[in-house]
Every structure is written in structure tokens, then in C-alpha cells.
Amino acid sequence: MKDLLQKIEDRSLHVGVVGLGYVGLPVAVAFAEAGFHVTGLDVDSEKVARILSGESYIGDIGSSKVAAAVQSGRLTASDDNDVLAEMDAVIVCVPTPLSKTKDPDMTYVLAAADQIAAHFHPGMLIVMESTTYPGTTEEVLLPRLSDNGGTVGEDFFLAYSPERIDPGNADYTLSNTPKIVGGYSAACGEVAAALYGTIVGDVHLVSECGAAEMVKLLENTFRAVNIALVNEVAIMCDRLGIDTWEVIEAAATKPFGFMPFFPGPGLGGHCIPVDPRYLTWKLRTLNYHARLVELASEINAAMPEHIVHMVSDALNDRQLSVKGARILVIGVAYKRDVDDIRESPALDIMRLLLARGAQVEYSDSHVPELTSGFEQPLKSVEGLPDVCRDYDCVVVCTDHSDIDWTGVTDSSSLLIDTRNVTRGRNDSHITRL
């Protein structure tokens, strides 16, 4: 352990990052900037080539940062697993998606664990950052690493540290968001905390890997449940004829005991719709049915269908049908200022409308084209907001406060604000636009 701590101190530690996506690339660049020699490993050779040529493909990391790290000789990338043999510390940032049956898909984690095990050597520190169910680090990673004969906490070190980055958030980045670390043993926690202390201002050590895994799931389940609550409140306000946003904004004046969440078209991204299902799956294996969390997933997953009903009702009020209607969906990334379309509810809305015979196009400056998931590739429509005049209905799936709608709201196009599900049905123009 002393050896590792010394290498962290004098920056001679060689850091490997497995998986160079939204999480892995910023982590790799941060360690390179902190003075370590970093090697990123990714199965995607195109990503490797782009990094080696100093190019970033992640919105939050500018190409200049990647280029500077590569030119300094502190960052390199490879698609060859053999590089793991040279690493003192390996940080795992591979995807943890859902299977078709909405259960954890551990394929990537298992592959990464096997890659590390095949190049295991004594003295290594292995940290799992991918979001996963409590128990993964000990139940999935540890047995594969221990097969090599070493004792964890003595011959090698194992920890879990959840990634908390919020893509597109300029205020809170990797360096000023406290980092949770849980080690398999006290020694494992100490080494991992020392490593992260070089890139993050505040490291919060918990007693075990499982606690650190659960922290991440609590944070994201908290969001999923509160979003489900406010989505249901919006549907209730619709029935009651009350303006949801007025209610939320008024409730938010309470200086304690209330935190505002806002309704929308459903959940998107790789985290909030996915992570609670990792938790409920694990609990099902322990004969516990996490009812509240599962119900929240159900309510959020039903929101795209609710929006399609809003569109259908609004068109119906004008004696128009969804079939044949020209519909523009604005904002297909799962949130504003990012290009990530994973699990985006806007795509579900588009598919549901297409299935009902609408002619659907989309506009999103961060997503120039949609190459898969539809019968034929789609290109983002330009010319917002004026182009809205060309459609029977415009479905806004993003925060649109920076769009000047003057001149469009007096057109005959229907504008549906999916964040304001209360007002969709009866107003000819949606008042929050």
C-alpha cells in the first residue's frame, strides 16, 4: 500500500481508464492534468483514434484539453487490452444499460473484469465507477480478481467510486463535486481516496463498496421518484383544472422541507431511467419488491404516451387527426445543451406519433441527425422558430426559454409544451411558450 501511496504522491502511478465515454474521458483527462501518465482503453477504435489526434467527442471536454493532455505525453489511448499489464491503477467506466427485459445488462462490466483479471498483477488498485447494483464490486469483480491468488487489501486493492458528473452543468464539474469512495477494506478505501484526492477537492469516504454503490442509486432514485411525483401531480392538476407550474412555483417559496421538481415528457439519459431498475432488480433477488421505486419508473415511462394523447386531443380540437398531421418535435437529446439521446422520451414520442401515421420531423442543434431507431435516417430541421409555421403541431421537449416565440404563437401551428402537461389539451397556443 505504501508503494501505491508514494506513487500517487510523486505522480509516478500509471492510471488506466477502461471505457472512454461521457464518464471515462473526463476522468482520464483530469488525471492527466493532475500529472499522472494515463492510458485510456476502449473497444471503440474510432474513439481511440480521435483521442490520439487530440480530438474530443464529449461536449463537456473541449478538444483543446484532450490535445494538450496528449501533446504533454500524459494521455494516450489504445484498444489493446495488453496495456492493462502496465497499469498501477485501473478505473472502470464501461456502460451499464438495461437488457430488453429491463434487467441489468452486465455484459460490459463482465468483459472489463475479465480483461483486468487477464492482465492482473500484484499491487494493482482497481476502482469501479460504472453505476450498478449494490454488491457488484464484491460479487462480480472481486472473485475474478482473486482467482489470480492475491489477497484483496494486501496484494491488490479494490474500491467503488460512483461518477456524479452532470453533463452540460458548467457550475458543478468533476473537480468541485465531492467524490464518494468505498473500499473493500480500510486500506483499499485509503488508497482510492488518496488517488481521487489529486483530482477532486472533497473526497467522502464510506465504510464499504456496497455503501458507495447505494449512494449513487439513492441519488438517482431520489430524482426518479420525485419526477414521477410531479408528473403525477401535473396529470392530477390537469383533471382539476389547476396550473401545475403555478402550484410548484408557489410551493417552492417555502424555505425548508420542499424541493421543486418539474413535469416533463418522461425520463431520459443513461442514468435516471436506468439506475433505479438496477436497485429494484437486486432487491427482487432478495425477495423484496421495491414498490415505490417500481411505480415511479412506471409513471415516468408512461409520460410519452400521455404527451401523445395531448397532441391527439389538441389536433382533435381543430378537427385534425394525428394521421397525416405534420408534426415537429423540438429537442430530442434527453436534456438541453447535450447531444446524448440515450433513453430520450422525445424519441418515444416521435415513434408513437409515427406509428399513428403522423409525418414527424425534429429539430435539435445538438443532434444533427438520427441515424438509427427509425425506418430511415432523419436530419434536424433548421430555422427555429419560424419553421414552426410549416407544421400542424409542434411538440417542445426541451427547455425553450431561450427561443423567441414572438411571431410564431400567432400562427396557426399548435404548440405543445411537454413540460407543461396541464395546459396541452384546451389552449390553442400553450401559454408557457
93 near ligand NAD (CB under 6 A): yes
Q: In angstroms, give the least distance from the CB of 161 to ligand NAD.
A: 11
Site residues for ligand NAD, 148-187, by CB under 6 A, read 163, 165, 167
In angstroms, the Cα distances linking 243 to 48, 219, 265, 406, 424 are 50, 28, 17, 23, 11
Q: In angstroms, give the least distance from the CB of 128 to ligand NAD.
A: 9
Q: Please pick, from the candidates 108, 184, 334, 362, the single residue that binds ligand NAD as defined by CB under 6 A.
A: 108
Q: In angstroms, give the least distance from the CB of 42 to ligand NAD.
A: 4
Rg (CA), the chain: 24
User: From start to end of 307-422, where are the E strands?
Assistant: 326-330, 359-363, 369-370, 378-379, 393-396, 414-417
Active-site residue, from 93, 188, 271, 397? 271
265 near ligand NAD (CB under 6 A): no
Which of the ranges 94-102, 283-291, 379-387, 423-431 carries the binding residues for ligand NAD, by CB under 6 A?
94-102
For residues 303 and 420, is the Cβ–Cβ distance under 8 A? no
Sign of CA dihedral 233, 403, 304, 338: negative
Q: In angstroms, give the least distance from the CB of 166 to ligand NAD.
A: 7
- Compute the distance between CA of residue 273 and CA of residue 98 in angstroms, rounded to an integer: 10
Q: In angstroms, give the least distance from the CB of 109 to ligand NAD.
A: 8
Q: For residue 326, list its beta bridge partners.
A: 359
In angstroms, the Cα distances linking 119 to 143, 148, 203 are 15, 10, 29
Phi-psi region of 220 (alpha: psi -120 to 50; beta: other; left: phi over 0): alpha
Which of the ranges 93-101, 192-200, 256-264, 311-319 carries the binding residues for ligand NAD, by CB under 6 A?
93-101
Q: In angstroms, give the least distance from the CB of 261 to ligand NAD.
A: 18
Site residues for ligand NAD, 13-72, by CB under 6 A, read 18-24, 41-44, 47
**Cα–Cα nearest to 326, from 354, 365, 367, 355:** 354
384 near ligand NAD (CB under 6 A): no
Please tell me what DSSP assigns to residue 141.
I
320 near ligand NAD (CB under 6 A): no
For residue 89, which phi and psi values (nearest 5 degrees)? -130, 140
Which is nearer to ligand NAD, 20 or 414 (by Cβ)?
Answer: 20
Q: In angstroms, give the least distance from the CB of 271 to ligand NAD.
A: 5
Which is nearer to ligand NAD, 271 or 416 (by Cβ)?
Answer: 271
> How many Cβ atoms are within 10 Å of 385's Cβ, its own excluded?
22
- Compute the distance between CA of residue 406 and CA of residue 88 in angstroms, rounded to an integer: 58
95 near ligand NAD (CB under 6 A): yes
Which is nearer to ligand NAD, 70 or 327 (by Cβ)?
Answer: 70
**How many CA atoms lie within 13 Å of 85's alpha carbon, on the beta-carbon side?**
5
One-letter amino acid of 38: V
334 near ligand NAD (CB under 6 A): no
215 near ligand NAD (CB under 6 A): no
Enclosing H/E stretch for 397: none
- Compute the distance between CA of residue 386 and CA of residue 398 in angstroms, rounded to an integer: 17
For residues 87 and 13, is the Cβ–Cβ distance under 8 A? no
Site residues for ligand NAD, 116-145, by CB under 6 A, read 130-131
# binding residues, ligand NAD (CB under 6 A): 27
96 near ligand NAD (CB under 6 A): yes
Q: Is position 271 annotated as part of the catalytic site?
A: yes
Which of the ranges 12-20, 221-229, 238-246, 309-317 carries the binding residues for ligand NAD, by CB under 6 A?
12-20
Residues marked active site are found at 271
Binding residues for ligand NAD, rule: CB under 6 A, are 18-24, 41-44, 47, 93-96, 108, 111-112, 115, 130-131, 163, 165, 167, 270-271
